[in-house]
Amino acid sequence: MFDDKSIIALASPSGSGAISLIRISGSDAIVLGDTCFKSIKNKRLVNQKTHTIHLGHIMDEDRVLDEVLVSVFKGPHSYTGENIIEISCHGSTYIQKEIINLLPHREPMLLIEELINIKKLFSATAIVNVKKDSFFVQGHFPDNPVMPGVLIVEAFGQAAAALTAHGLDKEVYNNKLVFLMGIEKARFRNPVIPDCKLELKIQAIRTHGRVWKYKGDAFVDGKKMADAQWSATIVDKK
């Protein structure tokens, strides 16, 4: 979902105190913070100017973790030259851990950056920002770059896994993995050209038993680019 170079860490001395500071830095820092911050004025962090401070709450779905102040620093005008947000939260070690755990590190192959319009274990929309410097551009038709169809399918699978993770009890899901089992009726209707936002509208069509099934459509600016049906299974981590 997010750039693997984004770093989430406690920036204040470890241990309990009145206030703790959690810093997120990297190209996707502001987007990452935006996924769990709810402003008291319904502001989106991604739409705010650099060097601004915002009052709100860190949310775990509908659960309020803490009332916080979030400072936004946009590169190249931050003190490190990259995007940074700083979360000033209450200083208990429990709150520190809860917030950091809510913002997991992402691997390079994680493609989706947002999951919105979520209906628990039923449907959601996933966002993939297809960038000009995406890792596949250099080798996949360098003069005419196109997002590979196999990566669109991979993004569908990741969106389904995220929808499943969102809907299951965290203690249950922490010991599980979602594996893609099969692809059915995949069609690539138009090429996905870098420098666009790919919206994946997915729906679960079977959510019981060992094998779950999903369907999805991919759009850019309202134009359908691909569609597919696929199956996945939830297995125990080894």
Find the CATH number of the domain harbouring 38: 3.30.1360.120
Give the pLDDT of residue 62: 80
User: 126 near 162, Cβ under 8 Å?
Assistant: yes
Does 159 map to a domain? Answer: yes
**pLDDT tens digits, one per residue of 195-206:** 999 999 999 998
Whether the Cβ atoms of residue 22 and residue 11 lie closer than 8 Å to each other: yes
What pLDDT is attached to residue 181? 86
**Which of the residues 54, 140, 166, 208 is marked catalytic?**
140
Query: What are the strands of the beta sheet with 52-60, ordered from one edge?
Result: 7-10, 17-25, 84-91, 63-73, 52-60, 37-39
Q: What number is the average pLDDT over the span 159-176?
A: 75
Question: Of the candidates 95, 91, 93, which has an alpha carbon nearest to the alpha carbon of residue 18?
Answer: 91
Domain that residue 58 falls in: 7-102
- Partners of residue 235 on adjacent β-strands: 177
CA distances (Å), 30 to each of 63, 83, 127, in order? Answer: 21, 7, 15
Q: Is 54 a catalytic residue?
A: no
Looking at the structure, tell me whether residues 120 and 216 fall in a common domain.
yes
pTM of the predicted model as reported, rounded to 2 decimal places: 0.57
- pLDDT at residue number 105: 35
In a domain? residue 121: yes
Residue 59 token pair: 């949310």
Domain assignment present for residue 109? The answer is: no
* Residue-wise pLDDT tens digits, 2-50: 444 567 777 666 555 567 788 888 888 888 888 888 898 888 898 899 9
Q: Contact at 8 Å (CB) between 113 and 127?
A: yes
Q: For the chain, what is the mean pLDDT?
A: 81
Are 219 and 122 within one domain? yes
Report the range out of 103-107, 169-173, 174-178 with the highest average pLDDT: 174-178
Q: What is the CATH number of the domain that holds 186?
A: 3.10.129.10
Report how many domains make up the chain. Answer: 2
